[in-house]
């Protein structure tokens, strides 16, 4: 599950990508907050993280503000998720960028927990690594409809 902070980051990036596509002007933080629905106070920290990562830039002065400095198709969603939320892996022993051996694991090669979680994690990684900010800008309705139609039936709570 992604955090609210990551959702705000993605929404802010979409606002900046839309602006870049339209006229290339920098946007003030108040405008980004209004268009993205993110609280300004919270958004300030997020935009600084995105700037440090080289995804957005800032301009000073009367026409100052924030702007996307990369093409939307080159901004990886996995990169944003890792930047804001940290490692994507469900277990530290599966992480490619923040690998750590599990403290309670005697045999990583034969660990059943690692094997099961590793299987769906790699499938998730293949998908998330291929998605970009440009994909977020597209109409996601057909994908959403497919996902909702293919949900497993709810099981009654015991």
pLDDT tens digits, 123-133 = 888 888 899 99
Residue 65: phi and psi, rounded to 5, are 150, -160
Q: In the chain, which residues have pLDDT < 50? A: 146, 158
- Measure CA 154 to chain center: 28
Residue 151: the pLDDT is 57
Which residue from 50, 61, 71, 55 is spatially nearest to 26, judged by alpha carbons? 61
Contacts of 40-46 with CB under 8 Å at 24 or more apart are: 42/5, 42/8, 43/8, 43/12, 46/5, 46/8, 46/9, 46/12, 46/84
Output the pLDDT for position 149: 56
Based on its alpha-carbon atoms, the radius of gyration of the chain, rounded to whole angstroms, reads: 19
| Domains along the sequence of the chain with CATH | 4-72 (1.10.10.10), 88-131 (no CATH)
Give the integer Cα–Cα distance in Å for 68 and 56: 4
What's the pLDDT at 158? 46
pLDDT of amino acid 108? 85
Tell me the two tokens of residue 98.
């923040």
Give yes or no for a contact between 60 and 51, defined as CB atoms under 8 angstroms apart.
Answer: no
Tell me the pLDDT tens digit for each residue of 61-92.
887 899 999 999 999 999 999 999 998 888 88
CA dihedral of residues 135, 136, 138, 141 (deg, nearest 10): 110
């Amino acid at each position: 599950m992604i955090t609210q902070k990551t959702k705000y980051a993605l929404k802010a990036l979409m606002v900046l990508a839309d602006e870049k596509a339209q006229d290339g002007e920098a946007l003030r933080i108040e405008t980004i907050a209004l268009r993205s629905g993110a609280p300004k106070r919270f958004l300030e920290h997020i935009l600084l993280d995105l700037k440090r990562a080289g995804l957005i830039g800032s301009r000073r002065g009367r026409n100052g503000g924030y702007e996307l400095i990369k093409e939307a198709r080159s901004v990886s969603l996995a990169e944003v998720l890792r930047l804001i939320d940290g490692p994507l892996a469900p277990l530290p022993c599966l992480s490619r960028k923040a690998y750590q051996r599990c403290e309670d694991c005697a045999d990583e090669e034969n660990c059943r927990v690692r094997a099961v979680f590793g299987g769906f994690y790699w499938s998730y990684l293949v998908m998330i690594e291929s998605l970009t900010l440009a994909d977020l800008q597209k109409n996601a309705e057909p994908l959403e409809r497919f996902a909702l139609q293919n949900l497993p039936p709810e099981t009654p709570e015991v």
